[in-house]
Amino acid sequence: MTVITPELLSRFDVPGPRYTSYPTADRFVETFSEADYIHALTHRQSGSVGKQPPLSLYVHIPFCESLCYYCACNKIITQHKAQATIYLRYLNQEVALHTRHLGRGQAVSQLHLGGGTPTFLSDAQLRQLMAMLREHFAFTPGGEYSVEVDPRTVDESRLAVLAELGFNRLSFGVQDFDPDVQKAVHRIQPADQVFQLVDAARRLGFESVNVDLIYGLPLQTPQSFERTLAQVKQLGPDRIALYAYAHLPERFKPQRRIHAHELPSVADKVAMLSRSLDALTDAGYVYIGMDHFALPDDSLAVAKRQGRLHRNFQGYSTQADSDLIALGVSSIGRVGSTYSQNAKTMAEYGDLLDQGHLPVVRGLSLSRDDLIRRSIIMALMCQGHLQYESINLAWLMEFKTLFAHELHQLEDMQSQGLVQLNDGGIQVTDMGWFFVRGVAMVFDRYVQKDRDRSRFSKII
């Protein structure tokens, strides 16, 4: 087991971004308008024919039938499926507006349905959604088409519908198998139910099955979480996402139902993470980085070996250079050197579409400095190392000169065993992976200037 000393924790277990983008979404500005987003879309469309990279699509389905107390997602708690019918109409309008600027038939190599709970939609509604997307976009053979699944909302017949619609990857939200923990977070789902669904998914031919886990939830202990890990190893999913629970009740109202005194200590959270790393690597999983594991033959592990790994708003991805079109309320996309976010409330989202506008309400056009720092941060987050020469050649600059101050800051981390610095580059150590967000933060110009980081979760 990797040992993290109290000194390291006190110095480096600080609030920081997860770096699903750089700059991070809290830096988006409302002066970025629909017109800026349209300019990015038309700039993509005006590129050389045949040289446009395939698109990624993200569709946010905000509905959930019940509230999970840990959740920090944009969601609407409802039992009424009719709300989804109205929402699909708005999604159709949003897609049609994109087609107006991109043209019909843009190639798509990656689709992710997130939420909320995408499987809140009925079979008929899922068919309607996919028919609408296929009418406007061309899905490439062999692409990654994934959907988040709440095990409480599906059975084998529903999984068969997802396979019929072209989904080849499933992500099951498990979080923890312990009944007491499930009760404490208001998400009760027996382990047998998940095992049966994963077996069904394999029979139906899904290429990859992912399981989401969370450590740091109320009533969890290192011992109880080890029992969950043992069950996950028996389950044998292709990928595992292991997230740290971020308790921010001042920002996320559902978390106010969690009793702070029931949360595990920082030391127990470290023990859970350390034991998870050891248990999953011993079980044959490749540690992709920060919060992802994959079996060696999974495309995510292959991408890491080949240096093609990337991070986007859904976490680690194999789609390194794809523009991401984000559809639905609150969703965040990336086109060219811009980020954009849709309206966060259904009322504003629908009102903008009713007026014939794309529902973009904020975003960011990245500067040259942003783009350079993004390439550095993503190299550290995805590969765990960075070569100065590759950055120098890509940006026609001298890394050691431009980032002399940052390299001086890293010397302290080197003395603590988190990174290794040499004449050619930066290498994150095995210990450093626990704090890789902190390593990346050294190159975050915005975070370095902003000492109030309470809006971020802690690194561990």
How many C-beta atoms surround the C-beta of residue 220 within 10 A?
26
Give the CA distances from residue 418 to residues 5, 304, 378, 439, in Å, rounded to whole numbers and listed in that order. Answer: 12, 20, 17, 8
116 annotated to a ligand binding site: yes
User: Does the annotation place 4 within a ligand binding site?
Assistant: no
* 18 in a known ligand binding site: no
Beta-carbon count within 10 A of 310 CB: 16
Per-position DSSP letters for 59-70, written without gaps between them: EEE-EESS--TT
Residue type, 58: Y
Q: Is 115 annotated as a binding residue?
A: yes
First to last CA, the chain: 16
Any binding-site annotation on 131? no
Closest to 363 measured CA to CA, from 346, 338, 343: 338
Instruction: Give the amino acid at 268.
Output: D
Beta bridge partners, 340, equal 333, 363
Other CB atoms within a 10 A radius of the CB of residue 338 amount to 20
Q: Tell me: is residue 187 an annotated ligand-binding position.
A: yes
Would you report the helix, strand and coil content of the chain in percent, each value rounded to 5?
45, 20, 35
- Specify the amino acid at residue 15: P
Backbone φ and ψ of 245, nearest 5°: -70, 130
212 in a labelled binding site: yes
Find out whether 103 and 45 touch, Cβ atoms under 8 Å: yes
CA distance 143 to 81: 30
Determine whether the annotation assigns residue 153 to a binding site: no
Contact 443, 449 (CB under 8 A): no
Q: What is the dihedral of CA 64, 65, 66, 72, to 10 degrees?
A: 0
Q: Is 68 annotated as a binding residue?
A: yes
Please give the full DSSP string across 11-52, using - where no structure is assigned. Answer: HH--B----SSSS-GGG-BTTS-HHHHHHHHHHHHTSPTT-S
72 annotated as belonging to a binding site for a ligand = yes
Query: Phi/psi of residue 130, each to 5°?
Result: -70, -35
Determine phi and psi for 414, rounding to 5 degrees.
-65, -40
State whether residue 147 is helix, strand or coil.
strand
287 among annotated binding-site residues = no
The answer to whether 145 is annotated as binding is: no
**Residue 85, marked binder:** no
- Max alpha carbon distance in the chain (Å)? 61
Of 119, 291, 297, 289, which Cα lies nearest the Cα of 208? 297
Nearest Cα to 232, choosing from 293, 147, 305? 293
3-state secondary structure of 156: helix
Binding residues: 58, 64, 68, 70-72, 115-117, 148, 175, 187, 212, 246, 332
Binding residues for S-adenosyl-L-methionine: 58, 70-72, 115-117, 148, 175, 187, 212, 246, 332
Binding residues for [4Fe-4S] cluster: 64, 68, 71
